[in-house]
A = this chain, B = another copy of it.
Amino acid sequence: MADATSMEKLVSLAKRRGFVFQSSEVYGGLGSVWDYGPLGVALKRNIKDRWWRSLVQSRDDIEGLDAAILMHPRVWEASGHVSGFTDPMVDCRTCKSRFRADKLADARCPQKPSKVPGQHTACDLTEPRQFNLMFKTFMGPVEESAAVIYLRPETAQGTYVNYQNVLNSSRQKIPFGIAQIGKAFRNEITPGNFIFRTREFEQMEMQFFVRPGTDDEWFERWRAVRMAWHEGLGLTPSKLRWHQHGPDELAHYAKAAFDIEYEFPFGWQEIEGIHNRTDFDLRRHQEYSGKKLEYFEQASGERYLPFVVETAAGADRVTLTVMADAYREEVVEAELRVVMGFTPQVAPVKAAVLPLVKKDGMPELALALYHDLREKMPADYDDGGAIGRRYRRQDEIGTPWCVTIDGETAAQRTVTIRHRDSMEQDRVSLDQVRHWLLERLG
């Protein structure tokens, strides 16, 4: 995929096959908000579970956490989001619209007759003012300033304010980490590119607390671990690269930052950031809350505020990455074949069971096998239409293997297993199918 056309094709397939739908579509949709359909939920769950397993379930030094979206408003004063998480905006006195001051060239005046982009600069614009990107709401029955709370713009702060609770209730010692998967919200002025940049999104963030002085070493370690994780999703290696933040790009809290970027049809974009956040956040929360957040290191008898190495990935972005990387078109026997080449571990459906024809006992054998497989993996059953057409349907949703019950199955107790990518077929004993598949799923 190398252009805008391929994004259109991906969005179209996503809707047609039930990966992603536009939110509230019957009402014309809601800008840049998307819903996951049956296959999309399965795919995204596989990706999130894989992240959780690799960080929380298979390591001794990381604990899981699930903090609420709503938090005390002082959290966002301490973190710097209330004062600093802003975009510069200007109002046009003629058309009464509001635009990003740094993106005026992209602006469109909604007044009829439409003015051409850029004309606003010659128009009656106010001076730029800073507008906060946090969604604001009111808790309790009165809409007043004392009741203002925010939808969190990142999960990380939920980890920082819970860091001592986790430390006290687990038996972790520094170095250790806390991992979270959860929704965050940013009132972006220019969201877009399908599920790449949305106002509501899901983060997979891990904060690793280390002794100051060991942070550079841990930073490098986590860079390696996280890149390996993305490679393990089966992504094309040449489409992954590092982008190091220069001094101008670094966030106020960061000493160093590297993005893992993927080459989407719309260009290279960040899918995960690895940040050395130093002790910035804990220091600020200590200051704003008046509570000591220092760590007492038994071995040395020292007290210190730990440094934090953060790995921050977007679950929606990774899902889009996996979908964009998987999409391919081939011409097979003079016909277009669309394939989602998911690695089997994240594919929403692992195997489809297909009776060659709807007679001679084939559907019965196929259904029995299907129910046997369903106990151990997501499987599909399809007896509708020509077998070639059914293979194409499975290719399009990325099912790695199609198991076909044919004329020889009843007599010889064998089936064919077709490989999605090579389209080659193996003859396998019927009672070995489950084992054959489970072995390949690892």
On chain B, the residues within 8 Å of A288 by CB distance are 27
On chain B, the residues within 8 Å of A30 by CB distance are 68, 70-72, 139, 149
B25, B141, B162, B169: the one within 8 Å of A131 (CB): B141
Q: Which residue of B lies closest to A14 (CB)?
A: B169
The count of identical subunits is 2
B21, B26, B140: the one within 8 Å of A189 (CB): B140
On chain B, the residues within 8 Å of A162 by CB distance are 21, 25, 35, 37
Measured CB to CB, the closest approach of chain B to A427, in angstroms, equals 28
On chain B, the residues within 8 Å of A137 by CB distance are 135-137, 151
B23, B75, B135: the one within 8 Å of A67 (CB): B23
On chain B, the residues within 8 Å of A166 by CB distance are 18, 37-38
Contact A68 B289 (CB under 8 A): no
On chain B, the residues within 8 Å of A374 by CB distance are 58
Contact A24 B139 (CB under 8 A): no
For chain A, which range describes its interface: under 10, 10 to 19, 20 to 34, or 35 or more residues? 35 or more
Contact A15 B169 (CB under 8 A): yes
Contact B161 A25 (CB under 8 A): yes
Contact A18 B169 (CB under 8 A): yes
On chain B, the residues within 8 Å of A158 by CB distance are 23, 35
Give CA–CA (A114, B441) in the complex, Å.
66
Contact B165 A25 (CB under 8 A): yes
Contact B24 A71 (CB under 8 A): yes
Give CA–CA (A60, B39) in the complex, Å.
14
On chain B, the residues within 8 Å of A71 by CB distance are 23-24, 30, 33
Give CA–CA (A168, B26) in the complex, Å.
14
Give CA–CA (A384, B173) in the complex, Å.
14
CB within 8 Å of B: which of A115-152?
Answer: 131, 135-142, 149, 151
Q: Which residue of B lies closest to A167 (CB)?
A: B18
Give CA–CA (A71, B293) in the complex, Å.
39
On chain B, the residues within 8 Å of A142 by CB distance are 98
Given A24-B72, A169-B15, A374-B58: A35 and B66 within 8 A (CB)?
Answer: yes
B131, B165, B183, B285: the one within 8 Å of A18 (CB): B165
Whether A171 sits at the interface, judged by CB under 8 Å, is yes
Measured CB to CB, the closest approach of chain B to A434, in angstroms, equals 16
Contact A75 B27 (CB under 8 A): yes
Measured CB to CB, the closest approach of chain B to A87, in angstroms, equals 8
Whether A34 sits at the interface, judged by CB under 8 Å, is yes
B17, B27, B44, B168: the one within 8 Å of A74 (CB): B27
Whether A170 sits at the interface, judged by CB under 8 Å, is yes
| Per-position 1/0 for A382-405, Cβ under 8 A of B | 101000000000000000000000
On chain B, the residues within 8 Å of A199 by CB distance are 70, 139
Contact A68 B33 (CB under 8 A): yes
Measured CB to CB, the closest approach of chain B to A142, in angstroms, equals 5
B23, B42, B169: the one within 8 Å of A16 (CB): B169
Contact B289 A27 (CB under 8 A): yes
Q: Could you jot down 23 A-B contacts, CB within 8 Å? A: A15-B169, A16-B169, A23-B70, A24-B75, A25-B165, A26-B289, A27-B74, A27-B75, A33-B70, A33-B71, A35-B66, A35-B162, A36-B65, A37-B65, A38-B170, A41-B64, A41-B65, A58-B375, A60-B381, A69-B183, A70-B185, A136-B138, A141-B189
Apart from the given pairs A25-B161, A30-B70, A44-B66, 9 other A-B contacts in the complex at a CB distance below 8 Å: A15-B165, A16-B169, A28-B72, A36-B67, A37-B162, A38-B166, A41-B65, A70-B185, A137-B137
What is A's interface to B at a CB cutoff of 8 Å?
15-18, 21, 23-31, 33-42, 44, 57-58, 60, 63-72, 74-75, 89, 98, 100, 131, 135-142, 149, 151, 158, 161-162, 164-166, 168-171, 183, 185, 187, 189, 199-200, 285, 288-289, 291, 293, 374-375, 378, 381-382, 384
Please name the 9 residue pairs, one residue from A and one from B, whose CB atoms are nearest each other, closest first: A18-B169, A24-B72, A38-B63, A36-B66, A35-B67, A27-B72, A26-B289, A41-B64, A98-B141
